Amino acid sequence: MGKKATLEEWKGLYEMAIKIKEMKPWERLNDLDFITIEFDENSEPIVCSILGKGGETYGICCYRGYEEIYKLFSMIESKDMPPEQVYRYQDCLACYFGDREELNNKEYKLIKDLGYKFRGKGNWIFFRSFDPIFIPDMPNRDEVLEMTKILEQLYYALQGMYFGFNVDYENGMMLVRAFDKKTGSWVNRRGFLEDLEMKFEVSLRHDELFIKRIKNKKPTKVLLELDIAYLNSIFKDEKYEKPLVMRMALLSDRKIGMILSHHLVTPEDKDTDIYFNTLLNYIYHNGKPKTVFVRDKYVYQILKDLCEKINVELKISKKLPAIDFFVNVYNSNF
């Protein structure tokens, strides 16, 4: 999980957060008016979303790289998905300007150790690291240092806006703050949201002989649902510093609502392998389904090549009725 940051390192992060809070950027920006940070031409972009325009949650969410940015857009488009399944897209570093009651004991102690005397509603600053595998917790040392660098450049980007650097957010633009290697300096420029589109590259080695055998399996009229579902349960393991969110790989028959296979997913498991092998194992023993329904574009891309090779239809469905029913029953009993 990484080492803990020192008080001095935390101090640097808090100082940047306080500077940004004083600017009240939510008065100018909506949460979808992104500011993108590019540290060099070889690194993936970091997208910052400013929360607070709606008057509820105030803060900054930082999405580091294309995978986290993809999850951000998936979360925005997840209105038809069961709420407990949206957690799979919670993957970012966040700074919040909230109330005393929102802090846990570790966060409150840190603020006291740093000598800050926050008072009043919306004035308590705290940080969370979100990971779809673990429950949210305080950032580790590497994350503290990374977020300090991000907030520093976000601060200068916001300064540029306040001094007249205008961005046409209504027409799909965003502010980009990038390091120019040629001049050795930081610059603000305008970019477009489509520049953030994730390029799916799912590298799975196929056993072509096995694929050929699978392709020749008898076709059926079965409609399958396949997902790694999130359950409203957490569990602790001595191997990990933080409690884990319980995730279960589920394969179901969409027509009759029956769960055909299930097993818990651990942090050591690769999601790509689980999706791929679960479907292959089913087909090997039961024949080819007519259609396989998956939750989102990411899983679709994992299985797309396989399904094309074996002539099985693949569709995206944010609601998976059989799996969602199983999850609801499980959650109501635990």
Q: What is the pLDDT along the chain (334 residues), one digit of tens a residue?
A: 579 999 999 999 999 999 999 999 999 999 999 999 999 888 899 999 999 998 889 999 999 999 999 999 999 999 899 999 999 999 999 999 999 999 999 999 999 999 999 999 999 999 999 999 999 999 999 999 999 999 999 999 999 999 999 999 999 899 999 999 999 999 999 999 888 887 666 655 667 788 888 889 999 999 999 999 999 998 888 888 889 999 999 999 999 999 999 999 999 999 999 999 999 999 999 999 999 999 999 999 999 989 999 999 999 999 999 999 999 999 988 7
CA gap 317, 294 in Å, rounded: 6
pLDDT at residue number 203: 55
Beta carbons of 106 and 53 less than 8 angstroms apart: no
CA gap 163, 158 in Å, rounded: 9
Q: Which of 208, 205, 211, 225 is nearest to 284 (CA)?
A: 211
Position of tokens 């027409």?
171
Beta carbons of 80 and 317 less than 8 angstroms apart: no
pLDDT at residue number 200: 65
Which of 174-213 are b and which e, b meaning 16 or more Cβ less than 10 Å from the residue's Cβ?
bbbbbbeeeeeebebeebebeebebeeeeeeeeeeeeeee
pLDDT at residue number 206: 65
CA gap 256, 198 in Å, rounded: 35
pLDDT at residue number 1: 55
Q: Taking CA 296 as the corner, what is the angle to CA 38 and CA 169, rounded to the nearest 5 degrees?
A: 40
Beta carbons of 92 and 61 less than 8 angstroms apart: yes
Q: What's the pTM?
A: 0.92
pLDDT at residue number 187: 95
Q: Which domains does the chain have, with CATH numbers?
A: 7-196 (no CATH), 208-333 (3.30.420)
pLDDT at residue number 205: 62
Q: Which of 48, 242, 17 is nearest to 111 (CA)?
A: 17
